Structures are given as structure tokens and as C-alpha cells.
């Protein structure tokens, strides 16, 4: 496992269609399980700082529980009625029951 991946959670902690926020050194990250595929995105909504793990998964996005911004898990971009900066994305690796993250450059 390359050093820049960090172990953050267990696969068994994030059931299908659920979200979990973890902390890494450069901030909080929400991990989403979408049909068994894991995505990771900056956790703090750029609108008014709700934790995205309080929202829900819709297709390939997380809908923020705060005011409904829809964050695309593959691009980090939001659909919202006002422009929002994109969220950072993280690469996810699964090794056994462990989930590792690495910030995407
Ligand atoms: S805090 Fe996320 S949409 Fe307002």
C-alpha cells in the first residue's frame, strides 16, 4: 500500500446506500457506498457547512441535508441555485475490510 493512502474506516461500517464522514489530516471526508462502489468527497458543504453525511445518495450524487445542493461524487461539482466551489475528491482503495483514502491532485 503506497504511503499516501491512509486507512480511515471499515467496509463493514458503511452499508450500501449509506454515508460516513471520517477525518484525515487535511479535513473531513464523506465516504459514500453507491451499489458497492465507494466514493469520497470533502465532507463540509461549501454552502453553509453542513456535514454531507447527514444527506442522502441520489444516483451518483449526495444531496445535502442543509438546503439541497447536489454534489456529484465523480466531479466534486454542485448543482445548486447559486455557484459553489467544487469539493475535493479522494481516491478510494479497499484492502480486505479496510478503506483507504488519498486526496486526488
Ligand atoms: S449547507 Fe449544504 S446546501 Fe446549504
Q: Where are the domains of the chain?
A: 6-103
Q: Which helix (H) or strand (E) holds 9?
A: strand 6-10
Q: Which residue, judged by its Cα, is nearest atom 1 of ligand 1?
A: 48
Q: Which atom of ligand 1 is nearest to the CA of 65?
A: 2
- One DSSP character per residue, 13-57 reads GS-TT-EEEEEETTEEEEEEEETTEEEEEESB-TTT--BGGGSEE
**Stated pTM of the model:** 0.96
Mean pLDDT of 3-11: 93
Give the whole-angstrom CA distance, residue 83 versus residue 60.
20
DSSP 85: P
pLDDT tens track for 61-101? 999 999 999 999 999 999 999 999 999 999 999 999 999 99
pLDDT tens track for 15-73? 999 999 999 998 999 999 999 999 999 999 999 999 999 999 999 999 999 999 999 99
Q: How far lies 16's CA from each of 54, 78, 95, in Å?
A: 15, 23, 17
Q: What is the pLDDT of residue 105?
A: 79
Q: Which CATH code fits 6-103?
A: 2.102.10.10
Is ligand 1 within 6 A of the CB of residue 47? yes
Q: Which atom of ligand 1 is nearest to the CA of 67?
A: 3
Amino acid at each position: 500500500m503506497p504511503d499516501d493512502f491512509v486507512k480511515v474506516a471499515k467496509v463493514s461500517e458503511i452499508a450500501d446506500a449509506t454515508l460516513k464522514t471520517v477525518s484525515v489530516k487535511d479535513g473531513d471526508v464523506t465516504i459514500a457506498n453507491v451499489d458497492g462502489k465507494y466514493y469520497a468527497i470533502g465532507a463540509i458543504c461549501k454552502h453553509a457547512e453542513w456535514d454531507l453525511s447527514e444527506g442522502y445518495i441520489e444516483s451518483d450524487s449526495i444531496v445535502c441535508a442543509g438546503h439541497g445542493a447536489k454534489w456529484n461524487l465523480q466531479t466534486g461539482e454542485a448543482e445548486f441555485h447559486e455557484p459553489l466551489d467544487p469539493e475535493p475528491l479522494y481516491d478510494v482503495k479497499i484492502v480486505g475490510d479496510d478503506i483507504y483514502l488519498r486526496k486526488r491532485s
